[in-house]
Amino acid sequence: MIPVILSGGSGSRLWPLSRKLFPKQFLALTGEQTLFQQTVERLAFEGMQQPLLVCNKEHRFIVKEQLTARKLAVQGMLLEPFGRNTAPAVALAAMKLVEEGRDELMLILPADHVIEDQKAFQRSLALATNAAERGEMVLFGIPATRPETGYGYIRCDMSGGGNLPEGANRVVQFVEKPDEVRAQQFVESGDYFWNSGMFLFRASVFLEELKKHDLDIFDTCQATLERSHRNGDEVLIDPATFACCPDDSIDYAVMEKTRLACVVPLSAGWNDVGSWSSIWEVHDKDENGNVIKGDVIAEDSRNCLVHGNGKLVTVLGLDDIVVVETKDAMMVAHKDKVQDVKKLVARMDAQN
Ligand code: GDD
Ligand code: MG
């Protein structure tokens, strides 16, 4: 089994801490190690090869530094000149493997997740392996417990139909990032899983489905790989060809459309640490439900996240507010609105 770590996102919802040149996967947001280091370390068990990494070429030195610091290694890196989202990133990795005669199971892993229960993760992986070996495309599904709008929602046929091995359930409906009203309905129904963004399938199965559902991405990625430059275990993705590649996520381009999708449930203390509210979720709180970091005084405030980074930050009479201070920027937002921090980043990009 070949783990493929996707680490090319910019983590814009965690601005101002996460920056384009130093995005969230390379930050120690939940402990001493960065999310990227935790992701690589989680794979150190029998039967798992060293990971293949797909990331932005600007990040290659951060990656190497973070691997060396923990005595970790990868089997290779695909270095993108710019992001075209996850469908092309997975396609390039799958094409490289097939080209090398290694049509094996690929375990797709985002670089920005927390998984608390390693044993539970390995148990789900074993069930997923049975299904993927039979040609299925497995999504790891987290039972949906709150109306997060930043996730994909999946309903399954839980009756054991669909001729699938134990633990795998056929996908009936997949809705990527619904609005709040729909997300609320999905959670209330109790029938939905969140898409964890982790997948398991054979490289050639993914490529067949991509060809079927998004020929443009398939063709452009194939042309891109042919023109890309190889340097030892690194592949420098050709910018001119890759620029013509449509920007789309694996969820929209393939997983929502394929008939081969099935879910293996994962209950392993998963959190995608994608927004300031998930950072608040995963941290220990004080007696008022506040998560405080740095030089902070919080008075008469509840369920806030206050992140100081040099200056003294004082807050008074706030509920459910996120305050993040860095050297050159400061953000104050309501906790219910933090999915939209990326809108702030888009406005800044438009001004530059
Ligand atoms: N190499 C590469 N290139 N990696 C990328 C790119 C890219 O262009 N874009 C994103 N990634 C990486 C990110 O670094 C992250 O590790 C992973 O791919 C997923 O991308 P996100 O941008 O974080 O996706 P998301 O959080 O909005 O949504 C996905 O994950 C959710 C769970 O965390 C979807 O799969 C949702 O359905 C899912 O619920
Ligand atoms: Mg994410």
Distance from the alpha carbon of residue 279 to the mean position of ligand 1, in angstroms: 17
Ligand nearest to the CA of 237: 1
Mean of pLDDT values over 199-219: 98
**Atom of ligand 1 at shortest range from CA of 194:** 39
Tens of pLDDT, residues 76-117: 999 999 999 999 999 999 999 999 999 999 999 999 889 999
Atom number, ligand 1, closest to the C-alpha of residue 151: 39
Q: What is the pLDDT of residue 220?
A: 98
* CA separation for the pair 117, 93 (Å, rounded): 28
CB distance 85 to ligand 1 below 6 Å? yes
- Out of 20-34, 239-253, 322-336, pick the least confident: 20-34
Q: Can you tell me the distance from the alpha carbon of 18 to that of 335, in angstroms, rounded to the nearest whole number?
A: 17
Q: Could you tell me if the CB of 12 is within 6 A of ligand 1?
A: no
Side-chain-side CA neighbours of 228 within 13 Å: the count stands at 28
Q: What is the pLDDT of residue 207?
A: 98
Q: What is the structure's pLDDT at 148?
A: 86
Which pLDDT band holds residue 150 (cuts at 50, 70, 90)? confident
Task: State if pTM tops 0.80.
Answer: yes
Q: What is the pLDDT of residues 264-310, one digit of tens each?
A: 999 999 988 889 998 998 899 999 999 999 999 999 999 999 999 99
DSSP annotation of 212 reads H
Q: Is the CB of 325 under 6 A from ligand 1?
A: no
Q: Is 178 in the pocket of ligand 1 (CB under 6 A)?
A: no
pLDDT tens, position by position, 222-233: 999 999 999 999
Q: What is the DSSP string of 123-166?
A: HHHHHHHHHHHTT-EEEEEEEP-S--SSSEEEEEETTS-SS--T
State pLDDT tens for residues 169-184: 999 999 999 999 999 9
Q: Ligand 1, residue 272: give the atom nearest the CA.
A: 33
Atom index in ligand 1 nearest the CA of residue 6 equals 4
Whether the CB of 151 sits within 6 Å of ligand 1: yes
CA 165 to chain centre: 26
Ligand 1 pocket mutation, candidates 10, 39, 86, criterion most atoms within 8 A of CB: 86
Please report the pLDDT score of residue 351 as a whole number.
84
Q: In this structure, which ligand is nearest to the CA of 272?
A: 1
Could you tell me the two tokens for 35?
């999310």
- Chain position carrying tokens 């927004």: 275
pLDDT tens readout for residues 32-67? 899 999 999 999 888 899 999 999 999 999 999 999
Say if ligand 1 is within 6 A of residue 195 CB.
yes
User: Which bound ligand lies closest to the C-alpha atom of 150?
Assistant: 1
Residue reference for tokens 């709150």: 146
Q: Average per-residue pLDDT in the chain?
A: 94
Does residue 24 surpass a pLDDT of 80? yes
Q: Give the rounded percent of residues in the chain with a pLDDT score beyond 70.
A: 99
Tokens coding 75: 């089997």
**Is there an atom of ligand 1 within 6 Å of 3 CB?**
no
Token pair recorded at residue 345: 């980043």
Q: What is the pLDDT of residue 47?
A: 86
Residue 160 has pLDDT above 90, yes or no: no
Residue nearest to atom 15 of ligand 1 (CA): 110
Q: Is 142 in the pocket of ligand 1 (CB under 6 A)?
A: no
Going through the chain in order, the beta strands assigned E by DSSP cover: 2-6, 52-56, 76-80, 105-110, 114-115, 137-143, 152-157, 169-176, 192-202, 229-231, 234-236, 261-265, 270-271, 291-293, 296-299, 305-307, 313-316, 321-325, 330-334
